[in-house]
Amino acid sequence: MSAARRPLPGWVEIGLLPLANVAMAFLLVGFIVKIIGADPLQALKLLVLGAVGSSESIGYTLYYATNFIFTGLAVAVAFHAGLFNIGGEGQAYIGGLGCGLAVLALDGILPGQLMIPAAILASAAFGAAWAAIPAWMQAWRGSHIVITTIMFNFVASALMVYMMVNVLIAPGSMTPQSRGFAASAAVPSMQAALQWVGIAVAPSALNLSLLLALLCCVGVWIFLWHTPWGYGLRTMGHNPEAALYAGTNLKRMTMLAMCLSGALAGGVAVNELLGVHHRLVLDFAAGYGFTGIAVALMGRGHPLGIVLAALLFGALQQGGAELAFEVPAITREMVVVIQGLVILFSGALVHLPRPWLQALFARKG
Amino acid sequence: MQELTSHAAIELRGIDKSFGSVHAVRGVSLRVERGSITGIVGENGAGKSTLMSILYGLYRADAGEIRVEGRPVEMTSPRDAIGQGIGMVHQHFMLVDSFTVLENLILGAEGGPLLAGGLAAARTELARLAHEYGLAIDPDARVADLSVGEQQRVEILKVLFRGARILILDEPSAVLTPQETDRLLQILRVLREGGVTVVLITHKLREILSVSDRVIVMRRGEVVAERVTSKTSAEELAELMVGRKVRFSFDKVPVRAGEPRLVARGLSLVDGRRVRVLDDISFEVRAGEIVGIAGVSGNGQTELLQVLSGIRRPTGGTLEVCGRKVDASHPADPAEMRDLGVAHVPEDRLRQGLVPAFLASETSILGYQDREPFCRNYLLDGPAVGKHCAELMERFDVRPRTPGLLSSSFSGGNQQKLILAREMAGHPRLLLVGQPTRGVDIGAIEFIRRELIASRDSGCAVLVVSVELEEILSLADRILVMSGGRIVGEVAAADADERTLGLMMTGARAA
């Protein structure tokens, strides 16, 4: 009983506890892999090598991580304001619509130095706008944001299918995708960028959007902890009554937090559309929005933690794909199970190993 | 030591309890005699609540032994305590408002899958208890319709119904009027005659002196003194609690009221349930005076403070704050009020006045975060905020003086001093203070009251809302009494005493 109330040292709380969670998830995964008749150690080796074994696989891991950083930050910003934004998925998707519309309209006119910033702004603005509607309904009408953001994911999905099939489809195309973007609208790949400074790496989907994601991390950190608005936002998240007392307009703050959140989710569109697909396609945001919730939870809402958690989920995504490719018994669905277990242990069961760690450190202390 | 032939109802031996680095209870040994009323007094954080939680099975002691009626017992949960005949009445009632008295009584002791049998048995038992202890109450009344004093009686009945012979009451009079408190003390005396052992935890020395047989004084986790009540005094107990001499009354210079800083005319507020929580309130507060608002909690004082500080807008009437007119169509939000020179120490410091998860330095700028020098070029200036917090802590003797510590790690008194320091730092023209010393230890009470008087003397208009009559009486120059959302009386502090105020508070109109 006394141990249960003892706080853990900081590095255990931030470092060891998440590691223990991941380790437990992998232990369970090992059992499952064993049951379906594959060798757990071999699978682990393939997973790790698939994620970080070559410069190509590292590239893909970082490319996935870029998406997770954007959605993780999006969830975290809303979370600090006490809002559970489940709609990162839809906001990223609609962000893509904004990105695509901007590029399709302007890529013939603008040079790259203007086109790319304009497309990034359009992604952010559309993502923010998609988050603003549930935020408005929450702030002024009292509709719960969890419900509305989930529903808006479906609306976004349906809207995008309509737009792609009926409006934005390239003339004469059989698949619902837009015409290709002009080269001026392409975010340079990391391979090209590194080659420019004389470092040779294998080509991968990784592009300079990663730098934008890291920049967003710094921006979110400064905003949340070093500006009066971030201060007001966190006050509202911890204690709306105290924020009201302090003179914060809760309705406006709700709008601000959700718009920022949606804008960050829009970053996924930059990575996917400007960095990889170079055209507007269906379902490019699939799954990133939801995994962003796990990333934000595991990263404890802190940008540094979110980067680390995004790396883990990026590695799982990439390593898992390799694993499914190499071992026939392990299907893509199996990889989703692995991800799900990591989310389960580092999300819902995050406090499971706490008593043991506490007992361990209580004895030492 | 040889066992005494007559066992004590409760005997604690060498009870020790730490929370992390905080040594909350240090080797406490004490005896509570059967059929007696024992008072436990001490400042906040003296360890009395922790000690009682150990006795009630909520915490487990790190070391020590608990004996009930002479038998050593293990308390691992409140269930064990109830099994040993120990019951606890908490400060905050644990009742289901929409249930009847009877239904509340059998909660957790339903006595079978169908309620009818349990309810019938409970009705008989309730009649017996009511008869034996004079605790008459309508078993079919809904709890929501009962007065606070009656609700507390239901809590006591609930505990007795479970067969408790030892009753622990934690700050039972915090929510009662003086008259209701007297009735409670009378009930405790009857219980004692019926052989029930009562342990009374309180910081109100008047109650301890009027009802208890013995007093145990705790300080910093230890029992520092034990007195037979008839042979001690309030002064001695206060000194034992704090460890030094304490002054309760202040020599105030005569009031020199200046221009009105706050004028309310016919102020009213109708809430979302269409209840008129403020009804035609008119008064003024002038520069250089302290106006006290007395009343039983829940009679509109909270809403009045919310309206005056801009958190809620009035639905009727007008308000003139430092020259600015505020009404339903010209509202002013808390930020505007602050700009007008209104500072507000809120009633509920944990929910409004600070964010427990924030650092003390962050708490020290709550509400002022976008002002110079804390905010420069749209960025918070961390060092400036830290320096500001350190200065406030120094001037208001906040301990420990660590701006980098979480706000929740400070004791109630130190949190309150920090909030008061923050609000007084800007030399406000009007200072609104809700429950200035609720849950604050005696040493800090003295300090806080002295600061409020100092701010009045320097020309600030001060409005104090408190449910502690003694506080209102010692601070205010004029006293307004609120009941049912109205101001039912005004008296000059010199002509007021607890009895007349208490009568007004219960709604008996006075001039």
Rg (CA), chain B: 24
The mean pLDDT value for A340-353 works out to 81
Is the residue at B3 inside a domain? no
CA distances from B430 to B216, B257, B309, B467 (A): 41, 13, 10, 21
DSSP B406: B
Structure tokens belonging to residue B224: 């520092």
Give the confidence band of B495 by pLDDT, cuts at 50, 70, 90. confident
Same domain, B66 and B138: yes
Same domain, B20 and B102: yes
Residues 6+ apart with CB under 8 A from A247: B310, B333, B334, B335, B336, B337, B338, B367
The mean pLDDT value for B253-266 works out to 89
Q: With CB atoms and an 8 Å threshold, state whether A235 touches B309.
A: no
- Residue B95, φ and ψ in degrees, nearest 5: -120, 150
Nearest C-alpha in B relative to A365? B20
The count of domains in chain B is 3
Chain A nearest CA to B20, separation (Å): 5
CA distances from A60 to A64, A92, A93, B158, B368 (A): 6, 20, 21, 65, 46
Residues 6+ apart with CB under 8 A from B252: B453, B457, B477
Give the sign of the dihedral formed by CA A197, CA A202, CA A207, CA A211: negative
* A227 chain-B contacts, CB cut-off 8 A: 375, 378-380
Highest-scoring range by mean pLDDT, A123-127, A293-297, B232-236, B411-415: A123-127
Q: Residue B359: helix, strand or coil by DSSP? A: strand
pLDDT attached to residue B371 = 87
Same domain, B233 and B258: no
Structure tokens belonging to residue A76: 């975290």
Give the Cα separation of B485 and B218 in Å (integer).
Answer: 39
Same domain, B119 and B136: yes
- Among candidates B75, B69, B90, B84, which has minimal Cα distance to B156? B90
**From the list B353, B354, B380, which residue is nearest A231 (CB)?**
B380
* DSSP letter for each residue of B301-350: HHHHHHHHTTSS--SEEEEEETTEEEETTB---HHHHHHTTEEEE-S-II
CB pairs under 8 A between A and B: 81
- Among candidates B430, B487, B465, which has minimal Cα distance to B282? B487
Q: With CB atoms and an 8 Å threshold, state whether A234 touches B358.
A: yes
* Residue finishing a domain among B194, B217, B242: B242
Chain A nearest CA to B76, separation (Å): 10
pLDDT attached to residue A310 = 95
- Among candidates B188, B295, B281, B205, which has minimal Cα distance to B241? B205
Residues 6+ apart with CB under 8 A from B220: B26, B46, B47
* Residue finishing a domain among B392, B426, B460: B426
- Among candidates A212, A185, A208, which has minimal Cα distance to A197? A208
Find the angle CA(B436)-CA(B441)-CA(B444) to the nearest 5 degrees: 65
Question: Is residue B68's pLDDT more than 80?
Answer: yes
Chain A nearest CA to B336, separation (Å): 8
CATH number of the CATH domain containing B219 = 3.40.50.300
B197 touches chain A (CB under 8 A): no
Q: What is the pLDDT of residues A150-194, one digit of tens each?
A: 999 999 999 999 999 999 998 888 889 999 999 999 999 999 999
The count of domains in chain A is 1
The mean pLDDT value for B365-376 works out to 89
Is the residue at A198 inside a domain? yes
Give the confidence band of A56 by pLDDT, cuts at 50, 70, 90. very high
pLDDT attached to residue A2 = 36
Give the Cα separation of B491 and B505 in Å (integer).
Answer: 13
The mean pLDDT value for A31-52 works out to 91
Quick one: what percent of chain A has pLDDT higher than 90? 67
Same domain, B49 and B180: yes
pLDDT attached to residue B131 = 83
Give the confidence band of B481 by pLDDT, cuts at 50, 70, 90. very high
Chain A residue set in contact with B, beta carbons under 8 Å: 1-2, 5-7, 222, 225-228, 231-232, 234-235, 238-239, 241-242, 244-249
Is the residue at A98 inside a domain? yes
Give the Cα separation of B41 and B25 in Å (integer).
Answer: 14
* B408 chain-A contacts, CB cut-off 8 A: none
- Among candidates B252, B197, B243, which has minimal Cα distance to B222? B243
pLDDT attached to residue A364 = 54
Give the sign of the dihedral formed by CA B123, CA B127, CA B132, CA B138: positive
Nearest C-alpha in A relative to B335? A247
Give the Cα separation of A273 and A291 in Å (integer).
Answer: 19
**From the list A1, A225, A246, which residue is nearest B334 (CB)?**
A246
CA distances from B323 to B146, B288, B289, B340, B455 (A): 43, 16, 17, 9, 20
Edge-to-edge strands, sheet with B214-219: B86-89, B166-170, B197-201, B37-42, B214-219, B222-228
Question: Is residue B93's pLDDT more than 90?
Answer: no
**From the list A232, A234, A244, which residue is nearest B311 (CB)?**
A244
* B378 chain-A contacts, CB cut-off 8 A: 227-228
To which H or E segment does residue A301 belong? none
Chain B nearest CA to A31, separation (Å): 37
The mean pLDDT value for B196-215 works out to 88
Strand pairing partners for B66? B12, B73
Is the residue at B411 inside a domain? yes
Is the residue at A61 inside a domain? yes
pLDDT attached to residue B510 = 41
Q: With CB atoms and an 8 Å threshold, state whether B375 touches A228.
A: yes
pLDDT attached to residue B200 = 92
Is the residue at B128 inside a domain? yes
Question: Is residue A365's pLDDT more than 60?
Answer: no
Is the residue at A354 inside a domain? yes
B351 touches chain A (CB under 8 A): yes
Same domain, B361 and B405: yes
- Residue B399, φ and ψ in degrees, nearest 5: -120, 145
Structure tokens belonging to residue B129: 């208890």
Give the confidence band of A77 by pLDDT, cuts at 50, 70, 90. very high
* Residue finishing a domain among B188, B215, B242: B242
Can you give the pTM of this predicted structure?
Answer: 0.80
Residue-number span of the structural domain to which A307 is assigned: 26-359
Q: What is the pLDDT of residues B278-289, one digit of tens each?
A: 999 999 999 999
Is the residue at B2 inside a domain? no
CATH number of the CATH domain containing A348 = 1.10.3470
Q: Residue B482: helix, strand or coil by DSSP? A: strand
Highest-scoring range by mean pLDDT, A173-182, B41-50, B407-416: A173-182
Interface of B with A in 312-341 (CB under 8 A): 333-338
**From the list A5, A232, A241, which residue is nearest B369 (CB)?**
A232
Is the residue at B5 inside a domain? no
Does B297 or A105 have the greater pLDDT score? Answer: A105
Q: With CB atoms and an 8 Å threshold, state whether A235 touches B358.
A: yes
Give the sign of the dihedral formed by CA A108, CA A110, CA A113, CA A116: negative
Same domain, B115 and B189: yes
Is the residue at A32 inside a domain? yes
The mean pLDDT value for B475-495 works out to 90
B369 touches chain A (CB under 8 A): yes
Same domain, B111 and B134: yes
pLDDT attached to residue A5 = 44
First-to-last alpha carbon distance for chain B, in angstroms, is 63
Find the angle CA(B373)-CA(B379)-CA(B380) to the nearest 5 degrees: 55
Q: Residue B403: helix, strand or coil by DSSP? A: coil
Contact call for residues A362 and A3 (beta carbons, < 8 A): yes
Chain A nearest CA to B248, separation (Å): 31
Is the residue at A169 inside a domain? yes
Same domain, B259 and B369: no
Highest-scoring range by mean pLDDT, A138-152, B68-82, B272-286: A138-152
- Among candidates A236, A329, A274, which has minimal Cα distance to A103? A274
Same domain, B19 and B127: yes
The ipTM is: 0.82
Is the residue at A21 inside a domain? no
- For the ranges A119-128, B5-14, B355-364, the lowest mean pLDDT is seen at B5-14
Same domain, B295 and B154: no
Does A358 or A81 have the greater pLDDT score? Answer: A81
One-letter amino acid identity for B388? Answer: H
Q: For strand B63-68 and strand B71-73, is the pairing parallel, antiparallel, or unpaired?
A: antiparallel
Residue-number span of the structural domain to which B290 is assigned: 249-341+428-511
**CB atoms near residue B99 (< 10 Å):** 15
Give the confidence band of B120 by pLDDT, cuts at 50, 70, 90. confident
Question: Is residue B176's pLDDT more than 80?
Answer: no
- Scored b (16 or more CB within 10 A) or e, B460-473 reads bbbbbbbbbbebbb
Q: With CB atoms and an 8 Å threshold, state whether B334 touches A247.
A: yes
Same domain, B177 and B130: yes
- For the ranges A144-148, A232-236, B40-44, B184-188, the lowest mean pLDDT is seen at B40-44
How many residues are listed for chain A in this entry?
365
- Residue B200, φ and ψ in degrees, nearest 5: -115, 115
To which H or E segment does residue B201 belong? strand B197-201
Is the residue at A1 inside a domain? no
